[in-house]
Structure 1
Amino acid sequence: MSDVPSAEALPADAPPAEAQPSDAPADGSAGDAPSAEGAAPGPSQPSENPTFTLFYFNVKALAEPIRFLFSYGGQEYEDVRVTRDEWPALKPTMPMGQMPVLEVDGHRVHQSISMARYVAKRVGLGGTNDWENLIIDTAVDTVNDFRLKIAVVSYEPDDEVKEKKNITLTTEVIPFYLEKLDAIAQENNGHLALGRLTWADIYFAGILDYLNYMTKTDLIEKYPNLKMLLKSY
């Protein structure tokens, strides 16, 4: 891929990109679904060449890095885009009542970063040892921390509170994270880890359109090393 796809135009009345309906919290859960990080009991092992089905709403957001990873690796998968009307019936079948969910040989798992890490290893974008995997994970988790700080403001329901939070976000939080990430990319030949292409780069590229959507801006316009990152795969 030479670049991130252009911003996905959403209708003015579109629900938040992380979940539908529009009153869903910003952590990726839907309705009254819990947002717990705990995993369900482990399923049996899938086959060496499993089938994959990715469930999410018809938006980019949390599922896009996983889609990018499948695309990079040339891995076939079924991309199920769930509609608002379909979600109530489907919700009880999901491990934590939320999406995205990845089905591997019929076994459904949740947590978008864990899914991305799993796919990344399958397509050769993980580290070669525990230390390298740690470095990659720190980059991914930093980008995800950035996303969460933006989401807290983007999904704030009180307009007055949102306006105050947005001042801190735009003048302090966003510049801090982007300057740090741009410096990391400069030190790593246009990458976020290990001086080479890893799934940290693709995670950032996949989530960037969503970050731009929430902030209503081109976040990396003034950050040349992050721009270089988008052209690196």
Structure 2
Amino acid sequence: MPHYKLTYFNVMGLGEPIRFLLSYGDLEFEDIRVERENEWPKMKKSTVFGQLPILEIDGESFSQTLPICRYLGKQLNLIGKTDLDALKIDGVANALHDLRKNVAMFYRETDPVIKKQRKEESVNVTVPFYLDKLEELAKTNGGYFHGGKLSYADIFFVAIHDSIANACEIPVTENRPSLKSLREKVLALPGIKSWIEKRPKLQF
């Protein structure tokens, strides 16, 4: 079995979907958490594109959350049966990545005026738009985002759920029964359930 080492900040963020997938697959991994203020600037130049997360597989470094998640999804049979299935699933995962980025834009903003403006737009317009689209997808695909079965996009959604809920201060799945059911199903998966129980308790 390959040796996995994930390096990211001590937040859920873009590292959590990777942690969820590794946990789902019962793949043991080193969970390295970098201190953002002092440690990260020193190591940034040595990373592939000056960004985290980085997943090392048997000592070789790979970067960017979505390709890493897709790779793990393929290893774990979570990208559907055909290339068109994978295309649909990748599209959902990319949309989820965009949603999380939109929330991060206001959450990380240091100017209080800009932060308030961005948060209001995100919470009132952007986030509900995405969540309603996702609800409809789950509703019309047998409780999952594609094909009536679990994919890495479903796991990605549940992995970013808490960050979005905490940052936006909204109940993400309220009045969205398909998303609520999907989240419950993913959280009940043995590997993910075990990860949730032992992971650090963080807000974002």
**TM category, shorter:** 0.7 to 0.9
More deviation in 100-109 or 144-153? 144-153
SS of residue paired to 1:53:
strand
Q: How far, CA to CA, are the matches of 1:57 and 1:152 in structure 2?
A: 17
Structure 1 residues 145-186: Cα deviation after superposition (integer angstroms, max 9, x where no partner)? 211222222233322233233332222222211111111111
Matches within 5 A, 1:201-220: 201-220=154-173
C-alpha contact (below 8 Å) 1:135/1:194 kept by paired residues: no
Q: How far, CA to CA, are the matches of 2:67 and 2:169 in structure 1?
A: 28
Matches within 5 A, 1:129-148: 129-148=82-101
1:89 and 2:42 aligned: yes
- RMSD between aligned residues: 1.6
Q: 1:76 aligns with which of 14, 21, 28?
A: 28
Q: Who is 1:154 aligned against?
A: 107
- TM-score when normalising by structure 2: 0.83
Q: CA deviation at 1:87?
A: 2.5
1:63 and 2:21 aligned: no
C-alpha contact (below 8 Å) 2:89/2:153 kept by paired residues: yes
Aligned-pair identity in percent equals: 38
Whichever residue aligns with residue 67 of structure 2, its letter is S
Judging by fraction of residues, say which structure has more helix: 2
Structure number, greater radius of gyration: 1
Q: CA deviation at 1:221?
A: 2.4
Q: CA deviation at 1:112?
A: 0.7
- TM-score when normalising by structure 1: 0.74
Q: Who is 2:53 aligned against?
A: 100
Distance change (3 Å), C-alpha of 1:170 and 1:87: closer
Number of equivalent positions: 185
Uncovered stretches (5+) of structure 2, i.e. residues with no partner: 187-204
C-alpha contact (below 8 Å) 1:55/1:82 kept by paired residues: yes
Matches within 5 A, 1:25-64: 49-64=1-16
Uncovered stretches (5+) of structure 1, i.e. residues with no partner: 1-48
C-alpha contact (below 8 Å) 2:119/2:168 kept by paired residues: no
